[in-house]
Structure 1
Amino acid sequence: MAPREYGQYDGVTRALELVGERWAMLIVRDLLVGPRRYGELAAGLPRIPSNILAARLKELQAEGVLRRVPRSRVIIYELTPYGRELEPVVLALGAWGSKAMGEPRAEQVLTPDALTVALRAAFRPQVAADLPATAYAARLESAELLVRVDGPSLAVGRGDGPADLAFTAGPGLHRVLSGALAPDRAIATGVVEVLRGPGDLLGRFASTFHLAA
């Protein structure tokens, strides 16, 4: 299916023609985290039909947003430099959209790549610059991330590892990061469970990552 054309001549229109088709921006979101094989992209977008994923990849490749690269006998997809220019756009969309998230529906999932981008969108480097370097091991639903904050620098990777604070939480963490629920209250009520490390570091986490209510 050919991408739609709006019949207008301006940058916003052209951008929507390039990445405005359904699922396109979510593919870009996941590739901002790192290169992915076709199967990894499909696993990270569990509701996308295979024919739509193939079509979107072909369209985005044709427009120079991503490319196919052979690596270790497999084909991976990665963003081009032109495609990576979408990062501040995706992060701004994530911050804007978080204001209207509400409570999650039963069928909604949180993937590791989506959570990684959400943390990037919520990161406040100006606050982190004045805090000690801290590592967090966060287990949120099926996503396990190791989050390292060192001054204004942020690194997010999958898996567990040495951390100053390890915790697990559900969707209620959104209330903590938006300021609707105090960190100590979140721990006391079981919204956040501390696995190891001092619980008061959750307050540092909440000040470092902030989502608008």
Structure 2
Amino acid sequence: MAGRDYGQYSGVTRAMELVGERWALLIVRDLLVGPRRYGELAEGLPRIPSNILAARLKELQAAGVIRRAPRSRVIVYELTPYGRDLEPVVLALGAWGFKALGDPRQEQIITPDSMTMDLRTAFRPQVAATLPATAYAAHFGVAELLITVNGPTLHVSRGDGPVDLAFAAGPDIRLLILGELAPARAITTGVVTVLRGRGDLLDRFASTFHLAA
């Protein structure tokens, strides 16, 4: 690979050489949600220059992290099994970074894939296993997600559908997930807007998706 050579022989050093270049882990993050076409990756990372996206994809392929695969007459990029081994690393980094989130800058956006991974980061399967199965439709700006929790299993997809609770929220949803804002208070202050269904189920959502600050 043409990436950095840190001149050290260690596992962490090698990992940084493979995925430490700018944008590389964000490409991996989005591919952890599912295979993506080149244009979909570009759309999900709107500030990445096209030449950098092409270079990172080429480097990650050379490292055995991703591969090109034909799907319905188009080419998609997907993680290899070796690439999927990065999932706990990405989730751990997400949990660490989530706790340092402040107010977003004006140009910062929430994408469906980034929010999907934030939800997977905050998901507490041991708590969810004690609660009834619940479906949520969450609208985070342009990111509309259908979130299904069934025991310790979480499934997140794009779109809307029949759910127990549908709600809309902005970046301040982080306060609910961090436990800094009670669910009832989130509703009364407008941080969360109940669109349909039982508003009291936001308590269940907050218990299921929680990262202690």
Name the counterpart of 2:104: 104
Which one-letter code corresponds to 1:177 in the other structure? I
What secondary structure, in the 3-state scheme, does the structure 1 residue paired with 2:46 have?
Answer: coil
Could you tell me the TM-score, scaled by structure 1's length? 0.98
Structure 1 residue 72, shift from structure 2 partner: 2.0
- Structure 1 distance, partners of 2:31, 2:179, is 30
Structure 1 residue 189, shift from structure 2 partner: 1.1
What secondary structure, in the 3-state scheme, does the structure 2 residue paired with 1:148 have?
Answer: strand
Name the counterpart of 1:156: 156
Structure 1 residue 74, shift from structure 2 partner: 1.3
What secondary structure, in the 3-state scheme, does the structure 2 residue paired with 1:194 have?
Answer: strand
Work out whether residues 134 and 150 of structure 1, in 8 Å CA contact, stay in contact via their aligned partners in 2.
yes
Q: Which runs of 5+ in 2 are unaligned?
A: none
Structure 1 residue 7, shift from structure 2 partner: 0.4
- Structure 2 distance, partners of 1:151, 1:17, is 38
Name the counterpart of 1:51: 51
Q: Which runs of 5+ in 1 are unaligned?
A: none
Name the counterpart of 1:86: 86
- Structure 2 distance, partners of 1:182, 1:131, is 19
Work out whether residues 95 and 212 of structure 1, in 8 Å CA contact, stay in contact via their aligned partners in 2.
no
1:51-200 matches, within 5 Å, as: 51-200=51-200
Work out whether residues 67 and 77 of structure 1, in 8 Å CA contact, stay in contact via their aligned partners in 2.
yes
Structure 1 residue 79, shift from structure 2 partner: 0.3
Deviations 1:72-109 (A, max 9, x none): 22111000000000000000000011111111111101
Deviations 1:22-44 (A, max 9, x none): 00000000000000000000000
Could you tell me the TM-score, scaled by structure 2's length? 0.98
Structure 1 residue 71, shift from structure 2 partner: 1.9
Instruction: Give the fraction of aligned pairs with identical amino acids, expressed as a percent.
Output: 77
1:28 and 2:28 equivalent?
yes
Which one-letter code corresponds to 1:62 in the other structure? A
Name the counterpart of 2:211: 211
- Structure 2 distance, partners of 1:75, 1:153, is 30
